[in-house]
């Protein structure tokens, strides 16, 4: 099978998606970037996701090449707490209604017009629908025209999945070698296709704003940590390290942006017990506002941002900080670390799914959950600024290698393998190739021996 824009339609199935309602973690960011990049490559792309119930059911972007289809909106309208609110109902509705619609409105017409289809399901919620789609395609005689991939972005829901059935229907992929081994524990060996970042995220933040924020922090160690308040993210380790640094007479400023998860309470309480002064503030819309807050609360060791931090703001915070603490203990991929590298920041990562992180070359990689290791790493970059600068430079180079353009190149090659594995056939004729009546030519007379 040749995966080229003229003859391939992509379908992405994911609970998370581009809407604010649909974003809970890295998955929404991933599918948004992946879908948009595929469309920009010229592929007709459909993204099915549990979208905002107040937005249209269908929406086109990229000159019609990218179509958003918001699913389960009737359930979301009763569950306004985000994409995973009403999760069980949504799974059931998704399984009952999506496969048929997808086949009738996308796959059937695509195959009819000579295209092949690549379906990429994301996360455990879509795992059952992979089987439903595969079954239906089989009975319609279309299974050999569709490549089905299912991607594990996390280990959530692994215990509920029917792995044997899924492996029969789809080629299983995942985002890092760490995740490969997590899936392997379930008896299946997935293909690793890394996550990507948009090309635009590789940029320099406004140098004045960066310098101003750094000056406003006025600290020996100015750090930032963002993510869900989940113990796997090792928030307590970060706070313990900040407490340790303060107790040893150095000035530390730690900016936090967590979610609404209950672990947040433990993190703040732990910070206070470490002797750190904590203030809670709404994230300002502009970097200057954040600088003002840091100046307004000079005694605050920990500044907890309680509202959404925009991408442009992150683009300033990442390079302004001495380090961004992406020090998770369990990270399927660690998109934040890569985004930090793209923005010219210095990432401190954990040592699980962050395949892109190369210790002391483009990042600081923590091997343990000992806060002393983090303190040591932060002291290192303070004592060796040239090494820190080199890591930032190499981090930027690494980020470029993970832009969606590069990742999609890999993805397309992997699809060739999946297509061969699933015995997907090449259409006899490219869809737009005109049917030209060829003149019959007389065969040359056979020579008589």
DSSP for 175-232, please give it: SSHHHHHHHHTTT--PEE----B-GGGSS---HHHHHHHHHHH--SEEEEEES-S-GG
Q: Does 164 bind another protein (CB under 8 A)?
A: no
Identify the residue among 42, 77, 78, 92 touching another protein (CB under 8 A).
92
Q: Does 162 bind another protein (CB under 8 A)?
A: yes
Closest CB to another protein among residues 54, 162: 162
Give the Cα separation of 449 and 440 in Å (integer): 26
Find the shortest distance in angstroms from Cβ 19 to another protein: 24
* Binding residues with another protein: total (CB under 8 A): 18
Which part of the chain contacts another protein (CB under 8 A), choosing from 132-140, 265-273, 317-325, 373-381?
132-140
Give the Cα separation of 106 and 69 in Å (integer): 11
The arrangement of strands across the sheet holding 323-326 comes to 278-281, 302-305, 252-257, 221-226, 323-326, 347-349, 364-365
**Side-chain half-sphere CA neighbours of 163 within 13 A:** 16
Closest CB to another protein among residues 139, 446: 139
Find the shortest distance in angstroms from Cβ 35 to another protein: 25
Identify the residue among 42, 54, 77, 96 touching another protein (CB under 8 A).
96
Which string of x and - marks every residue 109-128 that binds another protein (by CB under 8 A)? ------------------xx
Ramachandran class of 434: left when φ > 0, alpha when ψ lies in -120 to 50, beta otherwise: beta
Coil vs helix vs strand at 10: strand
Closest CB to another protein among residues 91, 363: 91
First CA to last CA distance, the chain? 43
Q: Does 73 bind another protein (CB under 8 A)?
A: no
Q: Does 89 bind another protein (CB under 8 A)?
A: yes
Closest CB to another protein among residues 8, 134: 134
42: tokens are: 């010229």
Q: Does 77 bind another protein (CB under 8 A)?
A: no
Give the Cα separation of 278 and 367 in Å (integer): 28
Closest CB to another protein among residues 132, 419: 132
User: What are φ and ψ of residue 414, in 5° steps?
Assistant: -65, -35
The H or E element spanning position 405 is: helix 404-421
Q: Does 140 bind another protein (CB under 8 A)?
A: yes
Identify the residue among 24, 55, 165, 288 touching another protein (CB under 8 A).
165
- What residues line the site for another protein (CB under 8 A)? 88-89, 92, 95-96, 100, 127-129, 131-132, 135-136, 138-140, 162, 165
């Amino acid at each position: 099978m040749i995966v080229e824009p003229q003859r391939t339609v992509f379908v992405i199935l994911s609970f998370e998606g581009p809407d604010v309602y649909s974003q809970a973690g890295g998955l929404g960011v991933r599918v948004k970037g992946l879908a948009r990049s595929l469309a920009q490559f010229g592929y007709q792309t459909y993204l099915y996701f549990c979208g905002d119930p107040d937005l249209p059911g269908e929406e086109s972007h990229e000159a019609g090449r990218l179509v958003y289809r918001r699913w389960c909106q009737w359930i979301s309208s009763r569950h306004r707490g985000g994409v995973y609110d009403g999760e069980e109902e949504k799974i059931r509705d998704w399984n009952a209604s999506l496969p048929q619609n997808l086949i009738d409105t996308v796959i059937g017409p695509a195959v009819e017009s000579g295209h092949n289809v690549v379906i990429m399901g994301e996360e455990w919620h879509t795992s059952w629908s992979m089987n439903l789609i595969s079954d239906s395609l089989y009975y319609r005689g279309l299974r050999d025209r569709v490549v089905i991939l299912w991607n594990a972005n996390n280990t959530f829901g692994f215990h509920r999945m029917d792995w044997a059935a899924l492996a029969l229907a789809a080629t299983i992929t995942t985002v890092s070698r760490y995740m490969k081994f997590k899936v392997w524990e379930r008896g299946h060996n997935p293909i690793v296709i890394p996550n990507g970042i948009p090309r635009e995220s590789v940029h320099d933040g406004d140098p004045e704003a960066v310098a101003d924020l750094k000056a406003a922090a006025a600290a020996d160690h100015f750090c930032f940590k963002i993510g869900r308040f989940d113990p796997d993210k090792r928030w307590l380790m970060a706070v313990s390290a900040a407490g340790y640094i303060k107790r040893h007479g150095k000035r530390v400023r730690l900016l936090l942006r967590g979610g609404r998860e209950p672990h947040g309470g433990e993190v703040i309480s732990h910070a206070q017990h470490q002797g750190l002064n904590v203030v809670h503030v709404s994230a300002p819309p502009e970097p200057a506002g954040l600088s003002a807050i840091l100046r307004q609360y000079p005694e605050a060791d920990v500044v907890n941002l309680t509202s959404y931090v925009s991408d442009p703001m992150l683009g300033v915070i990442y390079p302004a900080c001495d380090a961004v603490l992406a020090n998770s203990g369990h990270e399927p991929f660690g998109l934040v670390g890569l985004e930090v590298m793209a923005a010219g920041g210095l990432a401190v990562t954990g040592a699980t799914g962050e395949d892109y992180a190369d210790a002391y070359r483009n990042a600081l990689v923590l091997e343990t959950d000992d806060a002393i290791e983090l303190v040591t790493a932060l002291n290192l970059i303070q004592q060796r600024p040239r090494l820190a600068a080199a890591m930032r430079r190499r981090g930027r180079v690494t980020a470029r290698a993970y832009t969606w353009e590069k990742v999609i190149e890999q993805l397309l090659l992997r699809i060739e393998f999946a297509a061969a594995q699933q015995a997907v056939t090449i259409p006899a004729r490219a869809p737009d190739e005109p049917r030209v009546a060829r003149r019959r030519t007389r065969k040359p007379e056979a020579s008589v021996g």
